[in-house]
Amino acid sequence: MSGGWLIIAGLGPGADALVTPEVSLALADATDVVGYIPYVARIAPREGLHLHASDNRVERERAAHALGLAQAGRRVVVVSSGDPGVFAMAAAVFEAVETGPRGWRNLDIRVLPGITAMLAAAARAGAPLGHDFCAINLSDNLKPWALIETRLRLAVQADFAMAFYNPRSRARPEGFARALDVLRAVCADTRPVIFARAVSTPDETLRVVPLPEARPEMADMRTMVIVGSSQTRVLARGRGRGPWVYTPRSAP
C-alpha cells in the first residue's frame, strides 16, 4: 500500500455540528482512526475503516502506533477532542517523531484545527476572553504542581483572564481546590468564574459565580473553568436567563 498520511484532527467540544468540514473530509478518506476511547466512539463505523481506541495516559504509544500505520501506507486520522494542538495529541505525535525512527520525518503529517473547549465555553458565556488571556492545564500528571502554582500567580499579577483545562478529576480531587486557594491569596476582588460543563452536548450547564463563592465541587473533568480578569464584566439579562460575561477590549 502506498500514499500513506497522518492527520491529527480536532473533533470540537462535543456537538457534531462543531466538527469542521475539513476534519469530516479527512475522516471520510481515512483507513484508520486512532485515539482515546471516548473520542474514537464518536466516529461512525463504516466498511474499510479500522478504529483503534486506547486508554488515557498512553499518548506517546498511541502516537507511535499511528505513525507506524502511516509509514505502512495507511491513511490515518488521530482524533482529539477540541483542538488537537491544545493540550492534546498534536504535541504527542511530534514528540514521537522527534525521538522515533528517522523515516517518520518524511511522512505527510498535517494538523487540522478544531473548536477547543475554551472557545466553545467562552462563546456560551459571552466574551470573557475579549482581552488578553492565557490557558493553563491544571493537571500535574506531566508537570510539577509548583510550576502550575507559579504560572497561576504570574497570570493573576499580569491580570490575564484565565481558562483552566482539566480542573478536577477523581484521581486529582484536590488540585482545583489548591488552585482556588492560590487565586484568592493573590487577588481579593470578586472577578467572575465561569463553570462551563459539557458545552454543546445535551448535558451542558453554565454557571457564573464570583471568585469568593467558587467551590472545587463545581468542576469536574468535563468542565472548562474561565476566570475573568479584574476588568471582566457581568451583564444581567432578562427573562430569567443567565448573565453575559465579557472582558472589554481596552485596559485602563
- Give 225's strand partners: 164, 195
Position 252 scores a pLDDT of: 85
Position 154 scores a pLDDT of: 96
Integer Cα distance of 42 and 11 in angstroms: 9
Q: What domains can be seen in the chain, in order of their start residue? A: 5-115 (3.40.1010.10), 118-246 (3.30.950.10)
Residue 2 predicted with pLDDT over 60? no
> Model confidence over 229-249: pLDDT tens digits?
999 999 998 887 889 999 999
Q: List all residues 6 or more positions away from 25 whose beta carbon is below 8 Å from its beta carbon.
A: none
Residue 29 predicted with pLDDT over 60? yes
Position 45 scores a pLDDT of: 95
> Model confidence over 130-148: pLDDT tens digits?
999 999 999 998 999 999 9
Position 1 scores a pLDDT of: 42
How many residues are listed for the chain in this entry?
252
Of the candidates 230, 221, 228, 225, the residue with the CA atom closest to the CA atom of residue 246: 228
Of the candidates 190, 189, 185, 82, the residue with the CA atom closest to the CA atom of residue 137: 82
Q: Place 172 in a pLDDT band, splitting at 50, 70 and 90.
A: confident
Asked whether the CA dihedral 30, 47, 59, 174 is positive or negative, the reply is positive
Residue 13 predicted with pLDDT over 70? yes
Q: Place 3 in a pLDDT band, splitting at 50, 70 and 90.
A: confident
Position 24 scores a pLDDT of: 98
Residue 28 predicted with pLDDT over 70? yes
Position 111 scores a pLDDT of: 98
Position 237 scores a pLDDT of: 87
- The distance from CA 238 to its chain's CA centroid, rounded to whole angstroms, is 31
Phi and psi dihedrals of 80, rounded to 5? -130, 160
* Average pLDDT over every residue of 156-181: 90
What count of other Cβ atoms lies within 10 Å of the Cβ of residue 219?
A: 27
Position 19 scores a pLDDT of: 97
**% pLDDT > 70, the chain:** 99
99 burial type by CB count under 10 A (0-12 exposed, 13-18 middle, 19+ buried): exposed
Integer Cα distance of 80 and 33 in angstroms: 11
Q: 144-148, 169-173, 186-190: which range is least confident on average?
A: 169-173
Phi and psi dihedrals of 103, rounded to 5? -60, -25
Integer Cα distance of 20 and 157 in angstroms: 36
Residue 58 predicted with pLDDT over 50? yes
**Pair type for strands 109-112 and 5-10:** parallel
Position 251 scores a pLDDT of: 87
Position 104 scores a pLDDT of: 97
